[in-house]
């Protein structure tokens, strides 16, 4: 029988998105709607001495201007909701200090970063609202600004939040083995600093919120460009004081999220509150400058690493002290920092490991997870080190990697580290050497080395770089799905995850179709709407396929069983003799005889004609929540081939290869697309993207003239190889893939550039590898 999991089923989403029929938040029009615009801080750190709203409030067309005082007693602060609790084993193991400092809804007495919301104008339209913003007079008194993560931890640094005592927001330590012993045994010790700068996720669609409050039934409806509608609902319920049942949050089509849209933002609380207050629909759409300034940034880590190794390249131990520059507020506790610490050793067996992470506060936009969430930074550290060891020992980096890989015979491999779900991080299966070999074959490594030799003779600098990653995907705590069959026999699936480009409508209908033995066209998947299910979590951490996919399968199986049982009653036989496929339930020994899904659905309705077996609830639906036992580890090996123009410092990517394992592949084309998209963002981080603040905390990369994003011209077609080691942690054997593509490119490309410039012995330990940065390194090397 034809199975759709594993097939290149065409994307169901394409028709509406490619014909411009998608419906994003900004497309929603509601009668009588008013619009909001937000006054944002122009200071990085300042006291608010006075805010004069008189002119703005009197401007024609303005309904109101709101500041922090107006929210008091009406909207609770985020501090009321955000709890930084960790599983007890993790808490005991890493002994963290975590100070709670989520940002205020609106700045009250002081501002702590440029772009922080200070006031909101509500007006008949956005034009009037923007005009009125210009009439608000805020009197600021500048305070000392701190933007450097090393400056901010000094004893004499200006303290951003007095109540926290200093600017170290969190601190933790991960220890495995005996690091001192490892360093004593080593033939070599290498010490270096490796930095990944601050970047921005930059989805095509900026954030936006529309809210409508129906006084009649006290129902609040909110449309928001988010990855986590259920989380927005929970926050709203707690902070504006409505029961959850009276709140519906919808994420309509969402034009990308990439992580920053999994934070709940002040606007997602204040705009609904204003809709309730004024009993009129309210709309706020973020503009691109606001997005660059105030939608959360990411990465921004500095690692001071020491590694101890033997003459043959075997790594004995690794010490790392790193800082994550969190910006001014944190609502994600240890998330990215702990991901970095837990994933840094990657595919490598490094028995002795000691890492200290500090999350520090500066006068910058808060930092949240972005595609890879702490792994790209960690992989950049680890794979630069592999290259540096190879350089020092005059070995091939491939050899050094292979020498240190966790081997298949060590699987399942216990890393000795607790993951965030409180279970030990165990690499369940896979063959890393095999994926490396497959990648080497695709790139034809031997052949490349010969070409490189020839090229060097002609003064051309080509190089090859590798990087590998593992990623704990499919994090819990749960995800839900409901499957219904309507009276026409059509299957409707509702899921708690909320897609924003991942093609869940297609892949989840494949999973469901296989259970019922129908075509995916007979299945409609709906998501991003809290009215579909009582509980849901959301889409982040490459969890959708593992958690929601398994929930879809679970609910489908339950409903299938119920339908076969009902068919048994209808046909007057035991369900054991029946089978379901092709839209009907039939006799195993006489497939021509049976009843259709449509007929069974009709016979499932409550009432005198109901044929659902006694003791089972009538109705044609089933709900299932999948609770993953722990995360599942996907992995990949990336190869970049580059050419460096020595005169200009320009890096051209000639080839890019990915061999990866995401367990059972639901839809190969979609997986390829996810990887291609991830690699594009990884290349952005490797070569172009960097958020820069000046020493006054002013953002100087606020437009796409200064913040460079690669276009399709800069992105090569990624050549791919797939491995399918099925995960034992979910019924389909899936591992997540949404982030993997973005994790390794910075390390692979930096290694390739270093390899190309080997004659000059250049080491690249910062990003992006911009032409001017590379030219300075080349000039420095030539002077030596
Ligand atoms: N898939 C599959 N086979 C597998 C694994 C996944 O066919 N073995 C499919 C899934 O069914 C899903 C897609 O690949 O259609 C991604 O699945 P998964 O890895 O589970 O990731 P999520 O659905 O949880 O998506 C989140 C992930 C993250 S964390 C970021 S960041 C990200 C990403 O997905 N942001 C994206 N991909 C993105 N793609 C787009 N277009 N836009 C974003 O903002």
- Among 331, 248, 326, which residue's Cα sits nearest to residue 81? 331
CATH number where 438 lies:
3.30.365.10
Per-residue tokens: 277: 């207050």
How many residues are listed for the chain in this entry?
Answer: 784
Domain identity same for 306 and 284:
no
pLDDT at residue 419, rounded to an integer: 83
DSSP 104: P
Any atom of ligand 1 within 6 Å of the Cβ of 4: no
405 exposure class (CB count in 10 Å sphere: 0-12, 13-18, 19+): buried
Average pLDDT over the chain reads: 96
d(CA 50, CA 419) in angstroms, rounded, equals: 47
Any atom of ligand 1 within 6 Å of the Cβ of 293: no
Percent of the chain with pLDDT over 70: 100
CB atoms within 10 A of CB 761: 10
Mean pLDDT of the region 680-684? 98
Ligand 1 atom closest to residue 678's alpha carbon, by position in its atom list: 37
- Residue 190 domain-assigned? no
- The pick from 738, 740, 742 for probing ligand 1's pocket by mutation, whose C-beta has the most ligand atoms within 8 angstroms, reads 738
Distance 504 CA to ligand 1 centre (A): 8
d(CA 45, CA 247) in angstroms, rounded, equals: 36
Domain identity same for 340 and 257:
no
Q: What is the pLDDT of residues 575-616, one digit of tens each?
A: 999 999 999 999 999 999 999 999 999 999 999 999 999 999
For residue 402, the SS3 value is helix
Q: What confidence tier does 1 reach under pLDDT thresholds 50, 70, 90?
A: confident
Mean pLDDT of the region 207-231? 96
Of the residues 267, 294, 321, which one is the last residue of a structural domain?
294
> What per-residue string of b and e applies to 497-534 under the rule 16 or more CB within 10 Å gives b?
bbbbbbbbbbbbbbbbbbbbbbebebbbbebbbbebbe
- Residue 396 domain-assigned? yes
- Residue 570 domain-assigned? no
d(CA 587, CA 419) in angstroms, rounded, equals: 48
Q: Do 493 and 512 form a contact (C-beta atoms < 8 A)?
A: yes
Q: Whose C-alpha lies nearest to ligand 1, atom 16?
A: 738
Domain identity same for 249 and 371:
no
115: left (phi over 0), alpha (psi -120 to 50) or beta: left
User: Is residue 333 predicted with pLDDT exceeding 80?
Assistant: no
Any atom of ligand 1 within 6 Å of the Cβ of 258: yes
Handedness of CA 92, 96, 97, 100 (dihedral sign): negative
- Residue 372 domain-assigned? yes
Q: Whose C-alpha lies nearest to ligand 1, atom 8?
A: 665
What are the CB-based long-range contacts (under 8 Å, 24+) for 76-80?
Answer: 76/238, 76/239, 76/240, 76/241, 77/102, 77/104, 77/105, 77/239, 78/102, 78/103, 78/104, 78/105, 78/235, 78/239, 78/264, 78/266, 78/331, 80/238, 80/239
Any atom of ligand 1 within 6 Å of the Cβ of 35: no
Q: Do 660 and 636 form a contact (C-beta atoms < 8 A)?
A: yes
Instruction: Tell me the whole-structure pTM to 2 decimals.
Output: 0.96
Of the residues 294, 316, 339, which one is the last residue of a structural domain?
294
- The pick from 541, 542, 734 for probing ligand 1's pocket by mutation, whose C-beta has the most ligand atoms within 8 angstroms, reads 542
Domain identity same for 242 and 303:
no
Domain identity same for 284 and 308:
no
Report the domain count for the chain. Answer: 2
Per-residue tokens: 612: 């659902």
Domain identity same for 322 and 444:
yes
Q: What is the pLDDT of residues 659-674, one digit of tens each?
A: 999 999 999 999 999 9
Q: Whose C-alpha lies nearest to ligand 1, atom 2?
A: 666
Q: Give the domain range for residue 275.
A: 203-294
Q: Whose C-alpha lies nearest to ligand 1, atom 10?
A: 545
pLDDT at residue 784, rounded to an integer: 81
Mean pLDDT of the region 625-633? 96
Per-residue tokens: 45: 């750190």
Domain identity same for 357 and 442:
yes
Ligand 1 atom closest to residue 203's alpha carbon, by position in its atom list: 44
Any atom of ligand 1 within 6 Å of the Cβ of 371: yes
Alpha-helix runs per DSSP H in 371-431: 375-393, 397-404
- Among 315, 413, 301, which residue's Cα sits nearest to residue 360? 301
- Residue 770 domain-assigned? yes
Mean pLDDT of the region 86-103? 84
Any atom of ligand 1 within 6 Å of the Cβ of 671: yes
pLDDT at residue 85, rounded to an integer: 77
- Among 644, 656, 646, 700, which residue's Cα sits nearest to residue 681? 656
Mean pLDDT of the region 24-38? 97
pLDDT at residue 451, rounded to an integer: 97
Domain identity same for 305 and 282:
no
Any atom of ligand 1 within 6 Å of the Cβ of 75: no
Handedness of CA 42, 47, 49, 53 (dihedral sign): positive
Q: What is the pLDDT of residues 115-156, one digit of tens each?
A: 999 999 999 999 999 999 999 999 999 999 999 999 999 999
Give me the phi and psi of 126, to 5 degrees please: -65, -35
Of the residues 294, 323, 343, which one is the last residue of a structural domain?
294
Q: What is the pLDDT of residues 706-738, one digit of tens each?
A: 999 999 999 999 999 999 999 999 999 999 999
State the distance between the two ends of the chain, measured CA to CA, in whole angstroms. Answer: 68
């Amino acid at each position: 029988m034809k199975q759709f999991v594993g097939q290149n089923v065409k994307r169901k989403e394409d028709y509406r998105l490619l014909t411009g029929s998608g419906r994003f938040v900004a497309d929603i029009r509601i009668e009588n709607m008013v619009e909001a615009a937000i006054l944002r801080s122009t200071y990085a750190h300042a006291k608010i001495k006075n805010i004069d709203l008189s002119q703005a409030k009197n401007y024609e067309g303005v309904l109101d201007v709101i500041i922090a005082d107006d929210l008091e007693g009406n909207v609770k602060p985020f501090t009321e909701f955000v709890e930084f609790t960790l599983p007890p084993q993790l808490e005991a193991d890493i002994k963290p200090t975590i100070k709670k400092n989520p940002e205020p809804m609106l700045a009250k007495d002081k501002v702590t970063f440029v772009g922080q919301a200070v006031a909101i104008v509500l007006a008949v339209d956005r034009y009037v609202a923007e005009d009125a913003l210009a009439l608000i007079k805020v009197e600021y008194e500048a305070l000392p600004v701190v933007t450097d993560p090393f400056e901010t931890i000094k004893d004499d640094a200006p303290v951003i939040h007095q109540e926290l005592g200093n600017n170290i927001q969190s601190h933790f330590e991960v220890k495995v083995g005996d690091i001192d012993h490892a360093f004593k045994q080593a033939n070599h010790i290498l010490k270096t600093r490796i930095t990944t700068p601050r970047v921005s996720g930059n989805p095509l669609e900026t954030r936006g919120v529309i809210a409508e409050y129906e006084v009649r039934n006290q129902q609040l409806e909110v449309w928001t460009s988010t990855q986590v509608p259920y989380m927005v609902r929970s926050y709203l319920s707690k902070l504006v004081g409505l029961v959850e049942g009276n709140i519906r949050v919808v994420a309509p089509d969402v034009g990308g999220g990439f992580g920053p849209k999994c934070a709940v933002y002040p606007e997602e609380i204040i705009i609904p509150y204003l809709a309730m207050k004024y009993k009129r629909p309210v709309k706020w759409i973020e503009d691109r400058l606001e997005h660059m300034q105030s939608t959360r940034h990411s990465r921004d880590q500095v690692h001071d690493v020491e590694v101890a190794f033997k003459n043959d390249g075997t790594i004995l131990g690794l010490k790392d002290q790193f800082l994550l520059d969190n910006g001014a507020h944190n609502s994600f506790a240890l998330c990215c920092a702990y991901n970095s610490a837990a994933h840094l050793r990657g595919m490598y067996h490094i028995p002795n490991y000691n890492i200290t992470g500090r999350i520090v506060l500066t006068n910058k936009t808060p930092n949240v997870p972005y595609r890879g969430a702490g792994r790209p930074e960690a992989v950049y550290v680890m794979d630069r080190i592999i290259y540096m060891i190879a350089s020092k020992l005059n070995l091939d980096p491939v050899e050094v990697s292979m020498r240190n890989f966790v081997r298949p015979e060590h699987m399942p491999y216990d890393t000795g580290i607790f993951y965030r779900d409180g279970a030990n991080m165990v690499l369940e299966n896979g063959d890393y050497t095999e994926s490396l070999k497959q990648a080497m074959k695709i790139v034809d490594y031997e052949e490349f080395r010969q070409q490189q030799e020839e090229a060097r003779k002609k003064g051309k600098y080509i190089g090859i770089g590798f990087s590998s990653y593992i990623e704990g995907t499919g994090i819990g705590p749960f995800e839900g799905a409901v499957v219904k069959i309507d009276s026409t026999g059509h299957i409707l699936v509702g899921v708690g995850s909320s897609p924003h480009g991942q093609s869940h409508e297609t892949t989840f209908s494949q999973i469901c179709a296989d259970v019922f033995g129908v075509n995916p066209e007979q299945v409609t998947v709906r998501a991003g709407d809290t009215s579909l299910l009582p509980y849901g979590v959301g889409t982040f951490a490459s969890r959708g396929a593992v958690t929601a996919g398994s929930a879809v399968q679970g609910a489908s199986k339950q409903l299938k069983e119920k339908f076969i049982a009902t068919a048994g009653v209808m046909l007057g036989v035991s369900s054991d003799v029946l089978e379901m496929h092709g839209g009907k339930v039939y006799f195993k020994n006489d497939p021509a005889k049976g009843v259709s899904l449509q007929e069974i659905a009709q016979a499932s309705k409550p009432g005198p004609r109901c044929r659902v077996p006694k003791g089972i609830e009538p109705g044609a639906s089933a709900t299932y929540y999948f609770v993953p036992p722990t995360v599942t580890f996907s992995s990949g090996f990336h190869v970049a081939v580059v050419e460096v123009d020595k005169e200009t410092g320009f890096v051209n990517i000639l080839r890019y290869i990915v061999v990866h394992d995401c367990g059972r592949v639901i839809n190969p084309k979609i997986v390829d697309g996810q990887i291609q998209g991830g690699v594009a963002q990884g290349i952005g981080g490797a070569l172009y993207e960097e958020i820069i603040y000046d020493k006054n905390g002013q953002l100087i990369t606020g437009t796409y003239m200064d913040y460079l994003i690669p276009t399709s011209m800069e992105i090569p077609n990624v050549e791919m190889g797939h491995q399918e080691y099925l995960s034992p942690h979910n019924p389909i054997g899936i591992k997540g893939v949404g982030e993997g593509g973005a994790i390794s490119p910075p390390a692979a490309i930096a290694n390739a550039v270093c390899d190309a410039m080997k004659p000059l012995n250049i080491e690249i330990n910062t990003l992006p590898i911009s032409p001017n940065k590379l030219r300075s390194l080349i000039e420095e090397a030539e002077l030596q």
